Amino acid sequence: MNPVLEPLFRTVRATHPKADLRLIERAYDVAAYHHRDQKRKSGDPYITHPLAVATILAELGTDDETLCAALLHDTVEDTAYSLDELRADFGDTIGSLVDGVTKLDKVKFGDAAQAETVRKMVVAMSRDIRVLIIKLADRLHNMRTMRYLPEHKRHQKSREVLEIFAPLAHRLGMNTIKWELEDLAFAMLYPKRYDEIARMVSERAPRRDLFLQEVIEKVHGDLREAKIRAVVKGRPKHYYSVYQKMIARDVAFDDIYDLVGIRVLVDSVRDCYAALGTIHARWNPVPGRFKDYIAMPKFNMYQSLHTTVIGPEGKPVELQIRTHAMHHRAEYGVAAHWKYKEEVGAPGPTGKVKPGSDMAWLRQLLDWQKETSDPGEFLESLRFDLSVSEVYVFTPKGQVIALPEGATPVDFAYAVHTEVGHRCIGARVNGRLVPLESRLGNGDTVEIFTSKSPDAGPSRDWLKFVKSGRARNKIRQWFSKERRETAIEAGKEAIGRAMRKQGLPLQRLMSGEALLALARDLRYPDVSALYAAVGEGHIAAQAVVQKLVASIGGVDSAEEDIAETSLPTRLRGRPRGGGGAGVVVAGDADVWVRLSKCCTPVPGDEIVGFVTRGHGVSVHRADCTNVQQLKSQPDRLVEVSWSPSDDSVFLVAIQVEALDRPRLLSDVTRTLSDQHVNILSASVTTSRDRVAISKFTFEMGDPKHLGHVLKAVRSIQGVFDVYRVSGAGS
């Protein structure tokens, strides 16, 4: 036997004792022969990649056909070995698997192309689920060796992982793959956030481990006394899942990290419930936190009892109780089916999922694919569907319909049929009339009333509360067919109104070029599409105006533009030279100088001067975004140089990026005060992904002090980046 294959075979013997090792060795020999002259970006022989993919799949317990296909998955695409030769050598099943993986690999990635790839995946999945399992293992190994790729490629592939592959692994119940993919992509995309969470986790680890050990010993002792055989262990915390919980539950890191996770593995379903009773006898359960996924399994075949109890020291403890078979399936998902083929809903001999199994979700995706023509829209529906939990409700005839958590009767109506959704005028839940925006709960029976009027149609307000991608897409489609011209006019009027309210230069800002550039930035093909989007409520007029103003350098710059395009006026009694600003104008030391707020220059920056009409000379950093526009009037540019005096004061703008938590702002402002800087303005925005972005503008006498200020702010807990920005408004 080839010694290179020994680690793989050791794993195969442990997870799949009846596998045909000779067949796997033959597949390896063929792959090694055809890849013999190829190298990976790392410089390793190419065969190391298929071998690593096969090893990942062997750990999941997949069958020998899948392992052979994994070893051969790149041969047809990257070598002279043809699919017909492969079919002749290894049979139709392995040939079809390799063909399925090859088709997924051939598609070029871009936004629309990415959606097409997902569609092809779905089609491939529906024919044989093992194609997707190979693809997930392939992507996992690529992520492990991603450091050899250029940065833009790393970011693109990591984004695909978080948006497509990890959620699909979750849908297939393959949690070990999902967790590792998420952590690798998270570290690649947001290294500073990842490092900050890793640092916070490691700081608290020793204290937490002691507490964990105490809880495990008590649970173990109670179960032994009750004569229940069990394995009790702590659940690992994955960095990305910690970060996701901070976002989803909107709580600080400490509140999540103090939550200890325990896993209890027992021999039978009866023991699961007995163990639950034993644990609840010692510690009080937290109301509303008990979930029975054994009686009601999740969509991806996941089964377990979940409970949260108030443990020692009054700290909450999360417990998952399950059998060893359930645990195997929770870790490896659909891949585990090959070990437990006798179970209902396992794949048949071809690997195809039997009708009526837990994989009904795949059929639902296929239905969507047929009815959604725009690939981008399909992808949005898929992403949305992958990111939410579900509720199960009944039709009056008892048919079960799965909807996203928080779904409403309108979502239900569209799930039944598009026309039922369009004509929906009322709903009855459990025999009582309810508003259309009310949330549905598990087990509700829903009845929809429809209008017979030929003019019946959905309401725009529905978009504010529907939760399912299908309902949202159908409502949008209905409106996009309606009067587009009206929407364009309404949008134009709304933008104009928002500008007049702020007293901004309408003519300059609504010039074709500025708006067209903004429309393209926001992914609209032209200005009309941008107006229509505002008119239809897809984007707020105020947001468009803010982006327009930002694109020309902030409100100050827009106002400066007004000043610079207005009639020349006499300089009104400002007998001040450039001393206070610390800048002198070549040839005239007595000109009034002001440091521009759009880029806040400080000594050491390369600067240019611009003669404004009525406002002396404004000084900009040479790399300021507005300088390009000013260069169109070269006769008004003047040479300026730094000449700071003891009483010169400079404005500095910094941006602080941190994982959001209580008292973050007060900690940052206190640190800035300790550094003896005078804060003039502060703004904080918190994004949906729990990142707080704070901007501070402050006065400093000595710009050399800035490095110490940045270092002090960086040391605050949760802060993962701090840097000087080109302006207070940028």
pLDDT of residue 477: 80
How is residue 404 written in tokens?
A: 């996203």
**296 located within any domain:** yes
The Cα 67–Cα 70 span in angstroms is 5
Examine the domain organization and report whether 633 and 692 are in the same domain: no
Examine the domain organization and report whether 695 and 714 are in the same domain: yes
Examine the domain organization and report whether 490 and 610 are in the same domain: no
pLDDT of residue 569: 33
Mean pLDDT on 82-92:
86
**219 located within any domain:** yes
604 neighbors 616 (Cβ within 8 angstroms): no
In this model, does residue 572 exceed pLDDT 60? Answer: no
Work out whether strand 637-638 and strand 650-659 pair parallel, antiparallel, or are unpaired.
unpaired
In this model, does residue 359 exceed pLDDT 80? Answer: no
Residues with catalytic function: 77-78
Instruction: Provide the number of structural domains found in the chain.
Output: 5
Summarised one tens digit per residue, pLDDT across range 402-431 is: 788 889 999 999 989 888 998 999 999 988
Domain boundary among 515, 547, 579: 547
Q: Nearest Cα to 594, choosing from 181, 403, 585?
A: 585
Summarised one tens digit per residue, pLDDT across range 440-451 is: 987 788 999 998
Summarised one tens digit per residue, pLDDT across range 516-537 is: 778 877 777 778 888 888 877 7
In this model, does residue 344 exceed pLDDT 60? Answer: no
> Which region among 156-165, 340-349, 409-418 has the lowest average model confidence (pLDDT)?
340-349
Summarised one tens digit per residue, pLDDT across range 462-511 is: 988 998 888 988 888 887 666 666 778 788 888 888 877 776 666 556 66
> Which region among 69-83, 289-303, 541-555 has the lowest average model confidence (pLDDT)?
541-555
Mean pLDDT on 689-714:
82
**114 located within any domain:** yes
Q: How confident is the model at residue 369 (pLDDT cuts 50, 70, 90)?
A: low
Domain that holds residue 621: 587-642
* Percent of the chain residues topping a pLDDT of 90: 8
Examine the domain organization and report whether 509 and 621 are in the same domain: no
Q: What is the C-alpha end-to-end distance of the chain, expressed in Å?
A: 64
pLDDT of residue 251: 65
Mean pLDDT on 696-718:
82
> Which region among 82-91, 342-351, 469-478, 589-598 has the lowest average model confidence (pLDDT)?
342-351
391 neighbors 442 (Cβ within 8 angstroms): yes
Q: Quick check: helix, strand or coil at residue 5?
A: helix
Q: Answer left, alpha or beta for residue 398, where phi above 0 means left and psi between -120 and 50 means alpha.
A: left
pLDDT of residue 374: 61
Examine the domain organization and report whether 638 and 654 are in the same domain: no
What pTM was estimated for this model as a whole?
A: 0.60
Mean pLDDT on 369-379:
61
Q: What is the CATH number of the domain that holds 51?
A: 1.10.3210.10
Examine the domain organization and report whether 634 and 654 are in the same domain: no
The residues pairing with 264 across neighbouring beta strands, listed in sequence order, are 232, 321
b (16+ CB within 10 A) / e for 323-350: bebbbbbbbbbbbbbbbeeeeebbbeee
**607 located within any domain:** yes
585 neighbors 552 (Cβ within 8 angstroms): no
Examine the domain organization and report whether 88 and 124 are in the same domain: yes
Mean pLDDT on 279-291:
88
pLDDT of residue 562: 42
In this model, does residue 119 exceed pLDDT 70? Answer: no
Examine the domain organization and report whether 525 and 659 are in the same domain: no
Mean pLDDT on 2-16:
79
- Round the average pLDDT of the chain to a whole number and report it: 77
Examine the domain organization and report whether 289 and 234 are in the same domain: yes
Examine the domain organization and report whether 136 and 267 are in the same domain: no
pLDDT of residue 343: 39
The Cα 718–Cα 690 span in angstroms is 11
pLDDT of residue 530: 84
pLDDT of residue 449: 92
* Percent of the chain residues topping a pLDDT of 70: 77
Summarised one tens digit per residue, pLDDT across range 581-619 is: 667 777 666 677 777 877 778 777 788 888 877 667 888
**390 located within any domain:** no
Task: Order across the sheet with 650-659: list the strands.
Answer: 678-686, 691-700, 650-659, 719-724
In this model, does residue 541 exceed pLDDT 50? Answer: yes
**208 located within any domain:** yes
Between 665 and 345, residue with greater pLDDT: 665
DSSP structural state of residue 16 = -
How is residue 227 written in tokens?
A: 């004569």
Domain boundary among 272, 306, 337: 337
Examine the domain organization and report whether 132 and 13 are in the same domain: yes
The residues pairing with 233 across neighbouring beta strands, listed in sequence order, are 263
The Cα 690–Cα 190 span in angstroms is 13
The residues pairing with 723 across neighbouring beta strands, listed in sequence order, are 655
How far does Cα 683 stand from its chain's mean position? Answer: 25
**394 located within any domain:** no
pLDDT of residue 576: 41
pLDDT of residue 509: 63
Phi, psi of 588 (to 5 degrees): -155, 95
pLDDT of residue 346: 38
Examine the domain organization and report whether 201 and 318 are in the same domain: yes
**510 located within any domain:** yes
* Residues 6+ away with beta carbon under 8 Å from 167: 383, 386, 387
